[in-house]
A and B are shown apart, each in its own frame.
Chain A
Amino acid sequence: EADIYQTPRYLVIGTGKKITLECSQTMGHDKMYWYQQDPGMELHLIHYSYGVNSTEKGDLSSESTVSRIRTEHFPLTLESARPSHTSQYLCASSYRGKGENIQYFGAGTRLSVL
């Protein structure tokens, strides 16, 4: 069981609200990632970080922003939620070493914007 935690698990919110999805890991991993996944569909990378004060946009354009002030914490923020943001958001972390590059995932946050 990976030690990576996401809160909240479910969030229903109105259009225009600002929200922050939390992600924390206790494995000391330097790399962290956010993915967006619609039900039954593939994962799309929206943000990643290779360490403190490092953030990059992923392959899928997203209106969200991220920050990495502490190694263990990688929150994702939507300044003004819209119905098109309704999706599942998955956080992951990894440590590249000894020939492996396994990403460990949290349980996800399912976001519904009304």
Chain B
Amino acid sequence: GESVGLHLPTLSVQEGDNSIINCAYSNSASDYFIWYKQESGKGPQFIIDIRSNMDKRQGQRVTVLLNKTVKHLSLQIAATQPGDSAVYFCAETAGTASKLTFGTGTRLQVTL
């Protein structure tokens, strides 16, 4: 049920600046990673994905970087806009499994 747990880590950036959101994972067998954006009152929305045979993938204003050596994933958002304000989750899966394991999330606040 509802619980007062740890607050999400929060990243505050000024409009127009670049944002970098980080995610660490622990399963060395994970080979597919996704970033989701969740706005208040909505379900998570797919942003970008990357397979483990890549270390970088670019989308529109977003770039995902994967460092398998240290099991680290990052999402870079260029020229951050107020509409980017949301909670961002990374998710991972391994092999043929369809289940995703979600990270704890980071709240991005864009200041004017």
Taking Cβ atoms with an 8 Å cutoff, the residues of A that contact B are 6, 31, 33, 38-43, 45, 48, 50, 58-59, 83-87, 90, 92, 94, 96, 99-108, 113
Contact = CB atoms under 8 A, between A and B. Distances in A.
A106 B32 CA distance: 22
Nearest to B100: A103
The B interface is mostly helix, strand or loop, or mixed, namely loop
Nearest to A96: B98
Contact of B98 (A38, A85, A94, A106): A94
Nearest to A56: B99
Contacts of B3: 38, 41
Interface of B: 1-3, 5, 7-8, 32, 34, 36, 41-46, 49, 51, 87, 89, 91, 93, 96, 98-100, 102-105, 107
B5 A41 contact: yes
A96 B99 CA distance: 11
Contacts of A45: 99-100
A106 B43 contact: yes
A33 B87 CA distance: 20
B43 A108 contact: yes
A85 B3 CA distance: 11
15 contacts: A31-B98, A38-B1, A38-B2, A41-B8, A41-B104, A48-B98, A50-B98, A85-B1, A86-B1, A96-B98, A99-B51, A101-B32, A101-B98, A107-B41, A107-B42
B99 A48 contact: yes
Contacts of B7: 40
Nearest to A111: B1
A104 B2 contact: no
Contact of A40 (B1, B8, B34, B96): B8
